[in-house]
């Protein structure tokens, strides 16, 4: 496989010329434009995979417990993502791909069932940018109101966004809210302890984390997305103790708490890899730019982005509480 290691930018080099189709339609060539670093490793070391899921804008290939996403540029770059140029004449949905089809992977292409070939000739490597320097926690806590207001308005009723921002969870609320509120509260307590203590044993209340895993609707359950947001923010704020503690718990989660796809994405986030849109959202949060954060979140799935942001805001709130503890009676740090 030939991979250009120049940093790739979203949309750069994406043309809309029709793809090359063979006369009998059996050899559809789709160029891969960009590859995430883990997707590249996947293609180097796993010669065989299978189509696991097919969506409007992307497909997932699976080999063992690892998934790689092949999708349109609009889904955004990611460590486990291959961005392909499907052109305007034949979108992904028309390729006839379906779950269960075998995929053969070489250094030149991914061939699916001898009918579609994703080629690496034009592929460049996408690298996740470094986190920017963070503004003060007091400033960041202030900007949460703008983001929380947007979550309250925009996020779907089904996810954790509204649960977190509207503090739902009373007897009259949804079953998800009733279950999620105390679990998020336990996560907050755990995180507060992890931020405070120098040594957080792996056995220290892992249920505070694992209770959230697999919780909620969506392809990736809301609770998983919430934890991805928490991981990314702790990493961006360089809260290394708490980040490491959370990573340890997630790395040790038993199988069967969530879907294999979501577990793969969660563990990828625990390894420090997040997608382009989440990276932008978290960078915007720590830079004090709420509008940009919300704009980036809107590009992440239907509800996942808001669930991720719920995790980011919850985590930011706890970190700010830790720093503001001597004056906890201040109304703004409730």
Q: Which is nearer to another protein, 195 or 212 (CB)?
A: 212
Measured CA distances, 42 to 21, 49, 69, 74, 265 (Å): 26, 10, 11, 22, 14
Q: Which residues, numbered 170-209, are part of the site for another protein (CB under 8 A)?
A: 170, 172, 175-176, 178-179
Q: Which residues, numbered 53-72, are part of the site for another protein (CB under 8 A)?
A: 53, 55-56, 60
Which SS3 state, helix, strand or coil, does residue 89 take?
Answer: coil
Beta-sheet pairing, 28-36 with 116-119: parallel
Q: How far apart are CA 195 and CA 205, in angstroms?
A: 14
Q: Which residues, numbered 285-314, are part of the site for another protein (CB under 8 A)?
A: 290-292, 294-295, 301-304, 313
Report in angstroms how near the CB of residue 52 gets to another protein at its nearest.
Answer: 7
Query: Are the CB atoms for 104 and 111 separated by under 8 Å?
Result: yes
Beta-sheet pairing, 102-105 with 109-112: antiparallel
Beta-sheet pairing, 124-126 with 28-36: parallel
Q: Which residues, numbered 215-234, are part of the site for another protein (CB under 8 A)?
A: 215-221, 223
Q: Which residues, numbered 115-174, are part of the site for another protein (CB under 8 A)?
A: 141-142, 144-146, 148-150, 152-153, 156, 158, 165-167, 170, 172
Q: Which residues, numbered 86-115, are part of the site for another protein (CB under 8 A)?
A: 93, 99
Query: Are the CB atoms for 213 and 224 separated by under 8 Å?
Result: yes
Q: Which is nearer to another protein, 102 or 201 (CB)?
A: 102
Q: How far apart are CA 96 and CA 233, in angstroms?
A: 39
By CB under 8 A, tell whether 331 contacts another protein: yes
Please classify residue 37 by burial: count the beta carbons closer than 10 Å to its beta carbon, then call 0-12 exposed, 13-18 middle and 19+ buried: middle
Q: Which is nearer to another protein, 41 or 158 (CB)?
A: 158
By CB under 8 A, tell whether 327 contacts another protein: no
What does the binding site for another protein look like in residue numbers (CB under 8 A)? 52-53, 55-56, 60, 93, 99, 141-142, 144-146, 148-150, 152-153, 156, 158, 165-167, 170, 172, 175-176, 178-179, 211-221, 223, 256-261, 290-292, 294-295, 301-304, 313, 317, 320, 331-334
């Amino acid at each position: 496989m030939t991979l250009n290691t120049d940093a790739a930018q979203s949309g750069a080099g994406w043309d809309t010329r029709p793809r090359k189709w063979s006369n009998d339609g059996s050899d559809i060539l789709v160029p891969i434009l960009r590859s995430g670093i883990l997707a590249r490793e996947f293609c180097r070391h796993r010669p065989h995979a299978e189509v696991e899921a097919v969506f409007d804008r992307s497909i997932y290939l699976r080999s063992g417990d690892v998934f790689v996403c092949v999708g349109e540029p609009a889904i955004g770059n990611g460590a486990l993502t291959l961005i392909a140029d499907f052109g305007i004449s034949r979108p992904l949905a028309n390729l006839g791909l379906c779950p269960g089809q075998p995929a053969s992977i070489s250094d030149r292409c991914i061939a699916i069932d001898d009918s579609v070939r994703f080629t690496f000739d034009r592929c460049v490597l996408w690298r996740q940018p470094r986190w920017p320097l963070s503004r003060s926690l007091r400033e960041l806590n202030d900007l949460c109101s703008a983001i929380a207001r947007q979550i309250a308005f925009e996020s779907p009723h089904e996810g954790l966004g509204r649960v977190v921002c509207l503090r739902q969870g009373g007897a009259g609320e949804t079953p998800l809210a009733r279950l999620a509120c105390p679990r998020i509260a336990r996560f907050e307590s755990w995180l507060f302890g992890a931020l405070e203590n120098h040594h957080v044993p792996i056995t220290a209340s892992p249920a505070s984390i694992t209770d959230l895993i697999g919780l909620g609707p969506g392809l990736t359950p809301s609770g998983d997305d919430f934890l991805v947001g928490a991981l990314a923010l702790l990493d961006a704020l360089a809260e290394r103790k708490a980040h490491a503690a959370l990573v340890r718990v997630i790395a040790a989660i038993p199988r069967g708490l969530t879907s294999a796809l979501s577990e793969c994405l969660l563990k990828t986030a625990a390894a420090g890899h997040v997608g382009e849109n989440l990276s932008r959202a978290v960078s915007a949060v720590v830079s004090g730019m709420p509008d940009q954060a919300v704009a980036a979140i809107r590009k992440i799935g239907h509800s996942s982005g808001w669930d991720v942001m719920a995790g980011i805001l919850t985590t930011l709130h706890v970190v700010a509480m830790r720093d503001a503890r001597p004056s906890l009676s201040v109304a703004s740090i409730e």
